[in-house]
Amino acid sequence: MTTTTGTTAVTGAVGAAHTRLEGRDKVTGAARYAGEIPFAELAHGWLVLSTIARGRVRSVESAPVLAMPGVLTVLHHGNAPRVDGSYAGMLGRPDPIVEVFQHDRVPYVGWPVALVVAETSEQAREAAEALVVQYDEEPHDIAFFADRPGTYTPENSPAAQAETEKGDIEAELAASAVVVDAAYTTPEEHHSSLEPHAATARWDSGRLDVVDSNQGSMWVADELAKLFSLDPASVRVRSEHVGGAFGSKGVRPHQILAVMATTVLHRPVRVVLTRRQMFSLVGYRSPTAQRVRLGADTDGRLRAFDHQAQSLTSTVHEFIERSADMGRVMYDADAHHTVNRVVPLDVPTPTWMRAPGEAPGSFALESALDELAEKIGMDPIALRARNEPDAGPVSGLPFSSRNVLACFQEGARRFGWADRDPRPGTRREGRWLLGTGTAAATYSSGVVPSTAAVTAETDGTFTVRITAADVGTGARTALALIAADALEVEPGRIRIQIADSDFGPAMIAGGSMGTRSWGWAIMAAARELREQLVLGGDIPPQGITARSDTGAAVSALAKKERHSFGAQFAEVAVDVTSGEVRVRRMLGIFAAGRIVNPLTARSQFIGGMTWGLSMALHEEAIRDQASGGHVGADFAGYHFAANADVPLIEADWVDDPDADDPVGIKGIGEIGIVGAAAAIANAVWHATGVRHRDLPIRPDRVLLAGTRPAGERDA
């Protein structure tokens, strides 16, 4: 038959609400995640992690364990296949945790020291628990605090400036009528995806086949090929459904160990992390210690802007939580300084976690803005309006679009901000003191070259293939809608296949760049296909396929400040006699480019705001100085928001056209969390008159801080 596109002129899929393509599978339990695909002869691996924070493995006493029922092998540094971790992957040099079992050094509690593989998971678990590992222990140091010895400023690189500076900060602070100088801390936070990391590996007709849960199957396949020195074409990684990721699902020990074990045992091996193991194996958000200094004239104009952030990393790899980056986009001043410092300690390497940098950074910065507004006696929204920059405060580049004030305007209207009495501690309802707060949000809108293939099938449908990942974002559905519009056909005629490394290189689901990068590649391939189809003729049995690679187009994109923006609003109730804080409502208004699927986009924004609430009030991993390990590394010890914590949260958006952008999509995965914790902290101040500069705002902190009558200010 002859297939054409556009003859019925069906467009407008993008922008209309669509339920998820895989929705029925998810609500019926039919959707299979990584650990749920059956394989004949499957063996189960169970990890053994170090119990010391620093030292060496003296011995792994495998013999008794190998005699236990069902045990097939015990892998450790003395017998594991060799891997080579001296490569640069898609996101740079890997965390050396990928070089698992390659040496006897232990750099932190929770470092993998052995993998027990057995016929059943029960047997593997018992054998792993019975395995005796002897260590030579050395003293460790995990104490993180502001300005601690060993803190350094990393090298600047073109991609990531550690420090930016213009003007004379001290002079401008001295000349400022009003100065805020405040220190903030945020704790160690964990991604805690509900689906634990899981991978099943097997050799199939000379190819390594890995069923995984990840944010980028090509990324994982590429790094596995490099690690095991394999032909990239001989590695296939699939990850059809992913039960949450948030930055934690890249190349991690479970995939590598599954590959090692299947190579040794010649049968499929599955390695699933336990919840407790996830706390030390999949990365986390570093704690931060931040200092913000703002100097302003009495009309609110900023003369001095200084944001100094400190995070930690492991002793084996440098990862920087870039908390001070937000001010490089948001606020200008005569003197402007930002720096991200880091200190290596005997802890696991942190990694990207939802809105890396901006999530903790916005808590400090947007709290400090609120403190400045209070000191000046100015409305916090007016203060932000006063300091809107015309161009990037550090780069000097124009903004591709910047609609943060439109967000505040719409948000203020819907939230009822105009009726707010700015004085703190004036509203009470029974035992609850009430307050409202606001904060700005921003996150960068990046794009990475990607490839896609679109096939016109003989039955009139179109098949889209791209190594995208749907980690719960709704990407699968959004990409189908983008393809439908690009092909000018009904969405029902689109079949989409994702998350298979055989589909070629593509961006990972991360950095709010996935849908933007993939959508661009799909649009390009669809355009190419339409040009081919316009020529007419029959569709051969194998269909007609057009492929795209956005490499050239992406690098041709004009250099600009490209970001999403938003305004966060929160109302809280605080009982200072018990320390309880309840969020009563939240509203987020965002300017985030073209919204592809309003149904799932709203969910994603609200999900991010829920993370902000959770960060503000609950999340905190506790490390024990004596052992160097966590205390309560589970969901009873590490709290994130439960249903009862989350009130009605609304998210909406304003028009945010971006004339010179061929896609118009900005990405929305991160921005929902940015500023949300600050809005809540600012609301707690408004309720009680006390600033809470340390997260989470726990009951004991609220209880001990009490209230401060209106008029009294923080020193």
The residues that are catalytic are: 670
CB of residue 345 vs another protein: minimum separation in angstroms? 17
Return the residues of window 223-242 that contact another protein according to CB under 8 A.
241-242
Give 305's contacts (C-beta < 8 A, 6+ positions apart): 293, 294, 295, 327, 331, 332, 333, 335, 336, 337, 338, 393
Q: What is the DSSP letter of 92?
A: B
CB of residue 663 vs another protein: minimum separation in angstroms? 23
Cα 454 to Cα 104, 174, 665, 678: the distances in Å are 48, 61, 20, 44
Cα 387 to Cα 72, 305, 380, 397, 484: the distances in Å are 65, 11, 11, 17, 42
Q: Which is nearer to another protein, 24 or 713 (CB)?
A: 24
Cα 34 to Cα 115, 435, 505: the distances in Å are 19, 44, 21
Specify whether the CB–CB gap between 418 and 484 falls below 8 A.
no
Place of tokens 């069902």: 70
Return the residues of window 556-595 that contact another protein according to CB under 8 A.
571, 577-580, 582, 584-585, 587
Three-class SS state of 242: coil
Residue 700 binds another protein (CB under 8 A):
yes
Q: Which is nearer to another protein, 519 or 612 (CB)?
A: 612
Residue 234: left (phi > 0), alpha (psi -120 to 50), or beta?
alpha
| Kind of pairing between the strands at 163-166 and 335-344 | antiparallel
Residue 132 binds another protein (CB under 8 A):
no
CB of residue 397 vs another protein: minimum separation in angstroms? 33
Residue environment code for 106-131, b if the CB has 16+ CB neighbours within 10 A, otherwise e: bbbbbbbbbbbbbeebebbebbbeeb
Residue 609 binds another protein (CB under 8 A):
yes
Return the residues of window 174-203 that contact another protein according to CB under 8 A.
191-196
* φ, ψ of residue 267 in degrees (nearest 5): -150, 160
Chosen residue from 6, 16, 26, 532 binding another protein by CB under 8 A: 26
Residue 473 binds another protein (CB under 8 A):
yes
Residue 611 binds another protein (CB under 8 A):
yes
Return the residues of window 345-404 that contact another protein according to CB under 8 A.
none
Residue 422 binds another protein (CB under 8 A):
no
CB of residue 544 vs another protein: minimum separation in angstroms? 33
Q: Which is nearer to another protein, 186 or 548 (CB)?
A: 186
CB of residue 524 vs another protein: minimum separation in angstroms? 28
What is the rounded end-to-end Cα distance, in angstroms, of the chain?
A: 78
Stretch that binds another protein, among 141-149, 280-288, 530-538, 622-630 (CB under 8 A): 622-630
Specify whether the CB–CB gap between 420 and 436 falls below 8 A.
yes
Chosen residue from 216, 474, 491, 593 binding another protein by CB under 8 A: 474
CB of residue 88 vs another protein: minimum separation in angstroms? 30
| Kind of pairing between the strands at 132-137 and 55-61 | antiparallel
Stretch that binds another protein, among 172-180, 360-368, 443-451, 466-474 (CB under 8 A): 466-474
CA distance 340 to 311: 8
Residue 604 binds another protein (CB under 8 A):
yes
Q: Which is nearer to another protein, 112 or 607 (CB)?
A: 607
Q: For another protein, how many residues bind (rule: CB under 8 A)?
A: 107
Give 430's contacts (C-beta < 8 A, 6+ positions apart): none
Q: What is the DSSP letter of 644?
A: G
Return the residues of window 256-295 that contact another protein according to CB under 8 A.
272, 274-275
CA distance 696 to 611: 12
As given in the structure block, the two tokens for residue 374 are 């209070």
Residue 219 binds another protein (CB under 8 A):
no
Residue 491 binds another protein (CB under 8 A):
no
Q: How many C-beta atoms surround the C-beta of residue 390 within 10 A?
A: 10
CB of residue 275 vs another protein: minimum separation in angstroms? 4
Q: Which is nearer to another protein, 154 or 699 (CB)?
A: 699
Q: Which is nearer to another protein, 266 or 414 (CB)?
A: 414
Q: Which is nearer to another protein, 449 or 647 (CB)?
A: 647
Q: Which is nearer to another protein, 93 or 413 (CB)?
A: 413
Exposed, middle or buried by CB within 10 Å (0-12, 13-18, 19+), for 630?
Answer: buried
Give 692's contacts (C-beta < 8 A, 6+ positions apart): 681, 684, 685, 701, 702, 705
Residue 19 binds another protein (CB under 8 A):
yes
Return the residues of window 76-115 that contact another protein according to CB under 8 A.
109
Return the residues of window 402-421 that contact another protein according to CB under 8 A.
413-416, 419-420
Cis peptide before 696 (omega within 30 of 0): yes
Specify whether the CB–CB gap between 363 and 168 falls below 8 A.
no
Chosen residue from 397, 459, 635, 713 binding another protein by CB under 8 A: 635
CB of residue 355 vs another protein: minimum separation in angstroms? 13
Cα 385 to Cα 292, 300, 440, 562, 646: the distances in Å are 19, 9, 11, 19, 30
Chosen residue from 634, 655, 660, 712 binding another protein by CB under 8 A: 634
Stretch that binds another protein, among 71-79, 223-231, 366-374, 636-644 (CB under 8 A): 636-644
Q: Which of 253, 262, 255 is nearest to 202 (CA)?
A: 262
Chosen residue from 11, 79, 102, 121 binding another protein by CB under 8 A: 121
CB of residue 543 vs another protein: minimum separation in angstroms? 30
Residue 649 binds another protein (CB under 8 A):
yes
Return the residues of window 35-54 that contact another protein according to CB under 8 A.
35-36, 38, 51
Q: Which is nearer to another protein, 297 or 650 (CB)?
A: 650
Residue 145 binds another protein (CB under 8 A):
no
Residue 622 binds another protein (CB under 8 A):
yes
Q: Which is nearer to another protein, 294 or 478 (CB)?
A: 478
